[in-house]
Amino acid sequence: MEISEMYGQVLSGTVTDLNKDEAFVQIEGYTFALDLNELTEVPELGDEISGFLYENQAHKNKMTTVMPKVTAGVWDFAEITDVRTDLGAFVNVGLDDKDFVVSLDDLPLEHNEWPKKGDQVLVKLDVDHKGRLWGKLADIELYTQIARSPDAELKALMNNDEDGTIIAIRETGSFVMTESYYMGFIHRNEQSQPLHIGQHVKARVIGSSHRRLNLSMKPRAYEEITPDAQMIVAVLEHSADKKMPYTDKSNPDDIQEYFGISKGSFKRALGNLMKQRKIEQKDGYTYLK
Question: Bridge-partner residues for 74, per DSSP?
Answer: 71
Q: Quick check: 163 and 215 in contact, CB under 8 A? A: no
> What's the pTM?
0.73
3-state class (DSSP) for residue 233? helix
**Residue at 202: amino acid letter:** K
Question: Bridge-partner residues for 11, per DSSP?
Answer: 51
**pLDDT tens across 1-60, in order?**
899 999 999 999 999 999 999 999 999 999 999 999 999 999 999 999 999 999 999 999
> Which domains are assigned to the chain?
3-64 (2.40.50.330), 76-138 (2.40.50.140), 146-216 (2.40.50.140), 224-288 (1.10.10.10)
**pLDDT tens across 220-242, in order?**
765 667 889 889 999 999 998 99
pLDDT tens string for the chain (289 positions)? 899 999 999 999 999 999 999 999 999 999 999 999 999 999 999 999 999 999 999 999 999 999 999 998 899 999 999 999 999 999 999 999 999 999 999 999 999 999 999 999 999 999 998 889 999 999 999 999 999 999 888 999 999 999 999 999 999 999 999 999 999 999 999 998 999 999 999 999 999 998 999 999 987 765 667 889 889 999 999 998 999 999 999 999 999 999 999 999 999 999 989 988 889 999 999 999 8
Q: What are phi and psi of 32, to 5 degrees?
A: -125, 135
Q: Which long-range contacts (CB under 8 A, 24 or more apart) does 177-181 make?
A: 177/143, 177/147, 178/213, 180/148, 181/146, 181/147, 181/148
Nearest to 216 by CA among 241, 189, 239, 197: 189
